[in-house]
Amino acid sequence: MLKRILSITVLLLLPVLGQAQQLSIEFKKGPYLILPENASGMKVCWQMESAAACSLKWGRDKAFSEGKAKVHPYGDNQYQYTISKLAPGAKYYYTVYGQNNHREGSFLTAPKENTNKSLKFIVHGDIQKSAANYDRLCSGILEEIEKDGSFQTLCLMTGDWIEDGIYSGWQELVFNQDYDNTARLQALLPIMGCMGNNDNLASLRKYWPYPYQRKGYYSFTYSRMKVWVLDSEQSLSGKQRKWLEEGLKNCKKPWRILVYHKNAYSAGSGNSSARRNIHPLAVKYGVAVVFGGHWHTYADQAVDDVLYVNTGEGGTKKDGHYCLAEIKGDTIKITAKRPLSGEVLAEVEKSLPESAGSGAKQPDE
């Protein structure tokens, strides 16, 4: 009799156990996007609540017919895969498959350098204070992309992702799954950011595996633009400066952009070390624009034919601001806007510096 009861109990439990085995393992972060160093592909990253069998499919159609890959976890249940050999100036769709769930996204690949079309991108900084404020900012950027799909290119982020270097801030502020606009934007737009004074370098490198050289600095190319992302929390007078000068000296892209948190010239007192070590290189080698954050406001000023833009209200105010940048011919136009009111805070234009030189208008070798 006891054996019969046990047998019946096991039979009753089998469907329940089967359902438990089929439960989804939830996404914790992402998917989110990162540009490789030469921007000829796209790196897709995500994190699961626990290890799961994941795969990725992509294509220029919504059937994702051009490629697929199994992706294995590393570290803290993290995943990344670089999709390579993509067509230039094309829109791709992708899906990340987890355990009984999936998430979708899309991206635009970098256009060819010799195109006559304008090159557009987004800039913002300083999330650090509020996930809700950041979500409102993301909502505004999504509206810009819906109005003009050519802004679905990349976003430069000027640092201070989190507050006081606290690890939990990444989940609470940057990857909070309760905020749909934030998750949607990260699945559509590669974010290329720098280290801020409130960030933690180890966690920045953990969640944002950029093509770092040392510490928190790196560079990447995008069509006719090259961007150097500096770490203003490290020395600007030693190896980092030498690396930057070597890159600027050998650059053949016409548009040279710098991004670092504490700018040489900003809305506040500015960074004296950057004025001594970075600004002279920017002047000498034809850097057009330097984007920075730290000060929670918008400001711009031109110094020695270099335009400095301070953008630091990504999450620090309820109605902060983001910047729309457009390179058209030999001019870049930057428009600062508030996401809720739509107010235009400023519009500024800058011509290509003469020191960029005609020889700079050829592709990188």
Decide: pTM greater than 0.85. yes
Burial of 189 (C-beta count, 10 Å sphere; 0-12/13-18/19+):
buried
pLDDT tens, residue by residue, 223-261 = 999 999 999 999 999 999 999 999 999 999 999 999 999
Could you tell me if residue 329 is inside a domain? yes
Could you tell me if residue 113 is inside a domain? no
Q: What is the CATH number of the domain that holds 103?
A: 2.60.40.10
pLDDT recorded at residue 270:
86
Report the sign of the C-alpha dihedral through residues 130, 132, 141, 42, in that order: positive
Structural domain including 53 reads: 27-108
pLDDT recorded at residue 6:
41
pLDDT tens, residue by residue, 193-215 = 999 999 999 999 999 999 999 88
Which residues fall within 8 angstroms of residue 259, CB to CB, at 6 or more apart? 156, 157, 158, 192, 193, 194, 227, 228, 229, 230, 290, 291, 292
pLDDT recorded at residue 25:
87
**Cα distance between residue 80 and residue 102, in whole Å:** 15
Which of 88, 108, 128 corresponds to the end of one domain?
108
Could you tell me if residue 265 is inside a domain? yes
Q: How many domains does the chain have?
A: 2
Could you tell me if residue 4 is inside a domain? no
Could you tell me if residue 84 is inside a domain? yes
Pairing of strands 298-303, 331-337: unpaired
Q: Are 240 and 230 in contact (CB under 8 A)?
A: yes
Which of 108, 139, 173 corresponds to the end of one domain?
108
Answer whether residue 113 shows pLDDT above 90: no
pLDDT tens, residue by residue, 54-108 = 999 999 999 999 999 999 999 999 999 999 999 999 999 999 999 889 999 999 9
Which of 51, 83, 108 corresponds to the end of one domain?
108
Could you tell me if residue 18 is inside a domain? no
If asked whether residues 156 and 51 sit together in one domain, one would say no
pLDDT tens, residue by residue, 141-190 = 999 999 999 999 999 999 999 998 888 999 999 999 999 999 999 999 99
**CA dist list (Å): 221 to 113, 180, 211, 227:** 10, 30, 11, 6
pLDDT recorded at residue 17:
41
If asked whether residues 135 and 233 sit together in one domain, one would say yes
If asked whether residues 207 and 237 sit together in one domain, one would say yes
If asked whether residues 82 and 179 sit together in one domain, one would say no
Choose the weakest-confidence range: 87-101, 314-328, 348-362. 348-362
If asked whether residues 104 and 123 sit together in one domain, one would say no
**Cα distance between residue 345 and residue 343, in whole Å:** 6
If asked whether residues 100 and 161 sit together in one domain, one would say no
Q: Residue 350's beta-bridge partner residues?
A: 332
If asked whether residues 90 and 154 sit together in one domain, one would say no
If asked whether residues 276 and 197 sit together in one domain, one would say yes
Report the sign of the C-alpha dihedral through residues 10, 16, 18, 20, in that order: negative
Could you tell me if residue 282 is inside a domain? yes
If asked whether residues 187 and 90 sit together in one domain, one would say no
If asked whether residues 274 and 127 sit together in one domain, one would say yes
If asked whether residues 185 and 84 sit together in one domain, one would say no
Q: What is the CATH number of the domain that holds 287?
A: 3.60.21.10
If asked whether residues 71 and 194 sit together in one domain, one would say no
